[in-house]
Amino acid sequence: MNRASIRILRLKNGDTIISGFSYNQMTGEITLERPFQIASVPVMGKTGVKSMSLFLRDWIEYSKDHVFTITDDVVMLICNPEDELILDYQEAMEHTDLIKVQQDFDTIAQNLIGENGEEEDDNPQDMGYNEELKEMNGPNGSPDGFLDPDDDEMEDGDEYDQPDRPDD
């Protein structure tokens, strides 16, 4: 967007907008590109109003559109913004774009994670392999079917079978 085409508009409903601007005199239509509403909020100090803070927000918040057409009969005035306000406007557009990218990224991540909100993993317990592992590992949970002497479940006096070893 060309800096020279950025304007401030005061609408008859009281909204103050900064936007990319073009005007068609034949139709009386004004095209607004990336309009942001300007809000001035007083900052209070101990002795009253200390200063004014300026806030910029999307003019039409829940729209995917970035270009809007209005008629010139809803506009009270059009003026050129100060350079500092143009910089704030450009920063607000960048910030809004970053938020949109983050929201898109979060949506993609949620879709990858799954509908239940938990990350999917390859945990055999979650995939139904427990019964197969028990069958493969034998009655005592070890692959050879023997108790492990280091197993905490072994009690004093329990014996375990040793595999036959060839004589040395």
Instruction: Note whether residue 155 is domain-resident.
Output: no
Pick from 31, 11, 28, 24: which is nearest to 79 by CA?
Answer: 11
Domain of 85? 3-113
Does residue 167 sit within a domain?
no
Residue 131, pLDDT above cutoff 90: no
Which CATH number fits the domain that encloses residue 18?
Answer: 2.30.30.100
In this structure, the number of other CB atoms found within 10 A of the CB of residue 20 comes to 19
Q: Model-level pTM? A: 0.61
Domain count, the chain: 1
Q: Is residue 138 part of a domain?
A: no
Does the residue 128 lie in any domain?
no
Residues in the chain: 168
Is residue 20 one of the residues assigned to a domain? yes
Q: Label residues 119-135 b or e (16+ Cβ within 10 Å = b).
A: eeeeeeeeeeeeeeeee
Tens of pLDDT, residue by residue over 108-129, are 888 888 755 555 455 544 445 4
How many Å apart are CA 13 and CA 91, to the nearest integer?
A: 26
Asked if 1 and 19 touch (Cβ cutoff 8 Å), the reply is: no
- Tell me if 121 is assigned to some domain: no
pLDDT at residue 129, as a whole number: 47
The answer on pLDDT for 153 being more than 80 is no
Average pLDDT of the segment spanning 15-35? 96
